[in-house]
Structure 1
Amino acid sequence: MSHRPTILVISFSPIARDSRVLREISALAEVGEVTTVGYGPTPPHAANHLQIPDSAPSLPQTPSGVLKLATRRLRSSETAAPAARAAIRLVGDARFDMIVANDARAIPTAFAVAHGAPVWADMHEWAPEERTHVTSWRLLVAPLMDHICRTYLPRCAAVTTVGGEIADLYRRHYGVTPELVRNAAPFADLSPTTVSSDGSLRLVHSGGAVAGRNIEAMIDAVKRLDERFTLDLYLVAGGDGGTYLSSLKERAADCDRIFFREPVAPGDLPETLNQYDVGVYWIPPFNTNARLALPNKIFDFIQARLAVAVGPAVEMTRVVRSFKIGVSSSGNDVSDIVATLSALTPEKVSRYKQATDRAAHELSFEHEKQTIHTIVNELTAPTSH
C-alpha cells in the first residue's frame, strides 16, 4: 500500500464553521492524513486536531505585540500573536510531509513548524487589504501582512487563491503565480424548481449579517418593488452580538414580504435554497476584496439551481455573464437593485435557472478539488535519486 502523506492544516479560524477550510480538509483527507490546528472542535475529516484556545487572538494584540507593530518590528511580529505561539507549542516536535497555511497570518507559523517540509499558502483574499476599512488595522496590521507576503510567498512551494483578479494582484506585487481554488460548493444533485405561473418571484440571500454587506439596500429595494417579489434572509449573526441583524429586522418590520429564516448549516444550504427563484447579492466596493469578491454564497445559489442577481463586482459579474445564469446591475444603490429586479420575468428566471443547472458541474467543488489533489501529489511525491 502506498504511503499516505501527513498534512498539517493551519487556520486561525473556527475551522468547523469555515466553509472554505472544511472543503479543503475534505479534499486533502482523500489523499492524505490530515492534522488541523485552529479554534473550536475537531472538524470533519481531520484525523487529529490541535485546538487553539479561543482566548488567544490571531494577531499580536498584546501590549508588547502592538508595540512591535507600531514600531514596525515586523520580523519579530510574525509569530508574536498568542494564537501563533499556541500553534507552535501544540505542534511541538511533530513532523509532516507538507503544511497548508490558510491566509497570510498563518504563513510564518507554517514555516516555523515545517522543518523543511513544503508549505502551501491558501490565500482566501487579497491579504494586504483584508480590513483596510478599519483604521487601526490599516495602520498597524497592513504593513505586517505586506511584509509576510513579500517575505514568505516566494518561498512557498504552492500558492492558491479564490479568483483571477486577486491572483493577478499577487503576481504583480509579490512575483508569485497562484493557482485558482474558487469558493465553490460541492455538487448538489438537485433540479431547478418551477417558477410560479402567477408571476411571483421568490428572492433569497444567505450569509453573515455583517455591516458593509449592504443587506439593508436589498431590504429597501424589496420594499419599493411590487407585490410579485418576496425576500427570504438566512442570516448568521456577525461578531457584533447580533446588533446589525436586529437593525435589519427592524428595518424590514413594516414589509410583510420580507422573512428572516433560521440559518442552516453550509452543507444544507443548496437544498434549502432550492425552493427559491433568485439568489441576490450586492456588495459595495468598500475595499479591494469587496470589489473582487467571488464568495461562497454565489456557488451556494448555483448548486441550489437559482437564477443569480448581483451588483457590478468584477468576478461575480464574469461568472454570471459567461454562464448566462442571471443579471448584474450597473451599481449597488437601491435604485440600481430595483431597476435590475423589476426587469425580471418568470420566463427569464426560468431560463437562468436552466442555465445554472447546466453549469452546476463545472462550477462545483469537485472541479476545484482536482487542483488540491495535484498540489499534494506534486509536493509529496518521493524524490527520485
Structure 2
Amino acid sequence: MKKIIVTVTNDLSTDQRVAKVCNTLISNNFEVLLLGRKLKNSKNLKRNYQTKRFRLLFNAGFLFFAEYNFRLFFYLLFTKKDILLSNDLDTLLPNYLVGKIQNKKIVFDSHELFPEIPELVNRPKVKKTWLALEKWMLPRLRNNYTVCNSIAGFYKKKYNCSFETIMNLPTEKKVELGEFPFKINGKKIILYQGAINVGRGLEKIIETMNFLENHLLVIIGEGDIYKLLKDKVSSENLNNKVVFLGKITPSELHKLTPLAHLGISLEEDLGLNYRFALPNKIFDYIQAEVPILVSNLPEMSTIIKNYNVGEIVKNRDAKKLANQIEQILKKDFSKELKLAKAELIWEKQEQKLLAIFNHLK
C-alpha cells in the first residue's frame, strides 16, 4: 500500500476539496497522512485517515510561511512516504525539495492562481517572490491537476506544463428541506452563500433589492465586509428585504439552500483569480436544484451554457439586474437542474483523479 503525505497551510477542518481527495485515495488502497496547522479556534477532527497539525509561533505574514515551510521540509524529509501531494504554491517548496532529494513522486494540486490572490495584488515584492518560485518549480513538475480548464490553459501557455482538470464538485446529495429562522410570507428567496468579501458582487445585489418587491435576499456566511454590508442595508432602509444569517454548519446549510428560488454568484473581474473563478456555491445550488444567476466570467458562464441551469448577468445596473431576476423566476429550470445534478458530482471526478495517482510520471 503506497503512502501519500498530503500538505496544506490551513487547519484541515474547512478544506472540503482536500477532504474529498483524501477520502477517494483512502477508499482506493492508498495510505494517507494529511498535514496542516493548529489554530486557537481549530475544531477536533474525525477522519478515516491520519492527520497532523503543527502548532506555530507565527500565523500570518512572511514569518508564518517561513516557519511552516521550514518545519514541513524536515517533517517530510524524515517521514516514510511514497508520494507527496502538495496543495497550492504555499506548500510546494518543501515538497519539491524533499521529492528531488529522495527521488519521490510529487503531485501538485493548484486550487487557484496563487500569485494572483487578492492579498498579493498590492504587494508587488511579495508577489514577485511567489512568481519566481512558481516559474522555477512548475515547469519541472509532471503530475499536476487544478480546479478548472482556464487555470490549466493559463499554466500551459505560461510554462508549457500540463494540468489535468479535477473540478471541485460536491458529493452526490439528496435534497433535504429545513426551515429559515424567520417568516417568509410568500416572498421569493434570493440566496447568497459563501465568503462575505470584496469582489463577490454583494454590494450590487443589495442595491438591486431597492427595485424588487416581494423578494427577500438571504446572505449566509462571514467575511471581511460583513459589517459594512449590514451598515449598507440599514442606510438604504432595506432591513425588511435583506437577512444576514452569518456562518452556519454545512449540514444546516444543506437543508436551507433548497428553500431558495434563486442562487447568485456575482463575482467581479478583479484579476485573474476572480476571472477564472468557479465557486463551490454554484454546484451547491445545483445539488439543491436551485436555478442560478452568475457573472459573465469564463468558467461560471460555461456552466450555464453547457447545462442551462440559470442565466448569465446581462447588465450589472441595479434596475436592469432586478428586471432580469424577475424574468428568471418566471422560468422553469427543474428538468435541466436534475440532469446537471446527476452529472456535476465528485463521484464523476474520482476516476480522473485516481488515473493520476495510479500512473505517476
What TM-score results when the alignment is normalised by the length of structure 1? 0.82
- Return 257-266 or 180-189, whichever deviates more: 257-266
The partner residue of 1:232 within 211, 218, 225 is: 218
Residue 25 of structure 1: CA displacement?
A: 1.9
- Return 12-21 or 326-335, whichever deviates more: 326-335
- The superposition leaves residues 204-223 of structure 1 with CA deviations (integer Å, 9 ceiling, x where unpaired) of 11011112222121111123
Give the secondary structure class of the aligned counterpart of 1:209: coil
- The superposition leaves residues 73-106 of structure 1 with CA deviations (integer Å, 9 ceiling, x where unpaired) of xxxxxxx711111222333511211111111121
Gaps of 5+ in 1: 63-79, 381-385
- The superposition leaves residues 220-268 of structure 1 with CA deviations (integer Å, 9 ceiling, x where unpaired) of 11232122x11111112x2x4xxx2112122223221211124333355
Distance 2:106 2:266 in 1: 35
Distance 1:160 1:311 in 2: 25
Name the amino acid aligned to 1:96.
Answer: K
Cα RMSD after superposing both structures: 2.5
| CA shift in 2, pair 1:331/1:11, >3 Å | farther
1:52 aligns with 2:54: yes
1:353 aligns with 2:340: no
Name the amino acid aligned to 1:341.
Answer: I
Distance 1:265 1:191 in 2: 15
1:102 aligns with 2:87: yes
Residue in 1 aligned with 2:159?
174
Give the secondary structure class of the aligned counterpart of 1:171: helix
1:13 aligns with 2:15: no
Distance 1:152 1:119 in 2: 11
Residue in 1 aligned with 2:194?
207
Asked if 1 retains the 8 angstrom alpha-carbon contact of 2:211 and 2:319, the reply is: no
Matched residues, percent identical? 22
Give the secondary structure class of the aligned counterpart of 2:170: coil
| CA shift in 2, pair 1:44/1:320, >3 Å | farther
Name the amino acid aligned to 1:21.
Answer: V
Name the amino acid aligned to 1:17.
Answer: T
Distance 1:333 1:144 in 2: 39
Asked if 1 retains the 8 angstrom alpha-carbon contact of 2:3 and 2:32, the reply is: yes
What TM-score results when the alignment is normalised by the length of structure 2? 0.87
| CA shift in 2, pair 1:162/1:287, >3 Å | same
Aligned residues: 345
Residue in 1 aligned with 2:254?
270
Give the secondary structure class of the aligned counterpart of 2:293: strand
Residue 57 of structure 1: CA displacement?
A: 4.2
The partner residue of 1:362 within 330, 343, 352 is: 343
The partner residue of 1:24 within 21, 26, 30 is: 21
| CA shift in 2, pair 1:269/1:343, >3 Å | same
Residue 166 of structure 1: CA displacement?
A: 1.3
Give the secondary structure class of the aligned counterpart of 1:232: strand
The partner residue of 1:146 within 128, 131, 134 is: 131
1:37 aligns with 2:35: yes
| CA shift in 2, pair 1:199/1:279, >3 Å | same
- The superposition leaves residues 340-376 of structure 1 with CA deviations (integer Å, 9 ceiling, x where unpaired) of 2122233x1xx21331121112111111222222222
Residue in 2 aligned with 1:301?
285
Give the secondary structure class of the aligned counterpart of 2:333: helix
Distance 1:320 1:257 in 2: 27
1:285 aligns with 2:269: yes
Name the amino acid aligned to 2:205.
Answer: M
Name the amino acid aligned to 2:322.
Answer: V
Residue in 2 aligned with 1:90?
75
